[in-house]
Amino acid sequence: MKILIPSGIPFAIIAMWALLSKAGAEDFVDLDDLLEMDELLDDDGTLVREGSAAIADPLKGLNLAFFGFNDAVYKNIFQLFTLQYVRVIPKEARKGIGNFFNNLEYPRRLTGSLLQFRFGRASQETGKFLINTTAGMAGFMDATQEFEALQPPKEDIGQAFGTWGFKHGFYFVLPFLGPTSLRDFVGRIGGNYVDPTSEPCTQVDDSTDRMILTAVDTVNDLPDIIDIYNSITGSAIDPYTAVRDGYAQLRAVQVAE
Q: What average pLDDT does the structure give for the chain?
A: 84
pLDDT at 23: 45
DSSP category for residue 45: S
Residue 11 domain flag: no
pLDDT of 197 strictly over 80? no
Residue 24 or 153, more confident: 153
3-state secondary structure of 47: strand
What is the number of domains present in the chain?
1
Annotate 180-243 with DSSP letters as a single string.
EEHHHHHHHHHHHTT-TTSTTSTTS--HHHHHHHHHHHHHHHHHHHHHHHHHHHHT-SSHHHHH
Residue 177 domain flag: yes
pLDDT at 42: 82
Q: Are 48 and 242 in contact (CB under 8 A)?
A: no
pLDDT at 12: 56
Per-residue pLDDT reduced to its tens digit, 132-184: 999 999 999 999 999 999 999 999 999 999 999 999 999 999 988 889 999 99
Residue 142 domain flag: yes
Residue 124 domain flag: yes
Q: Are 158 and 115 in contact (CB under 8 A)?
A: no
Q: Are 255 and 162 in contact (CB under 8 A)?
A: yes
Q: Output phi, psi for 163, to 5 deg.
A: -70, -25
Around Cβ 96, how many Cβ atoms within 10 Å? 17
List alpha helices for the chain, DSSP H: 8-24, 31-40, 60-73, 79-88, 91-104, 106-115, 119-134, 157-163, 182-192, 207-234, 239-256
pLDDT of 53 strictly over 70? no
pLDDT at 238: 93
Q: Are 55 and 168 in contact (CB under 8 A)?
A: yes
3-state secondary structure of 48: coil
Residue 202 domain flag: yes
Q: Bin 250: left if φ > 0, else alpha if -120 < ψ < 50, else beta.
A: alpha
Q: How far apart are CA 143 and CA 91, in angstroms?
A: 18
Residue 231 domain flag: yes
Residue 199 or 222, more confident: 222
Residue 38 domain flag: yes
Torsion on CA atoms 135, 22, 189, 139, rounded to nearest 10: 0
Q: How far apart are CA 201 and CA 26, in angstroms?
A: 13
Per-residue pLDDT reduced to its tens digit, 64-91: 999 999 999 888 888 888 888 899 999 9
Residue 222 domain flag: yes
Which domain covers residue 88, as residue numbers? 32-256
Q: How far apart are CA 34 and CA 100, in angstroms?
A: 19
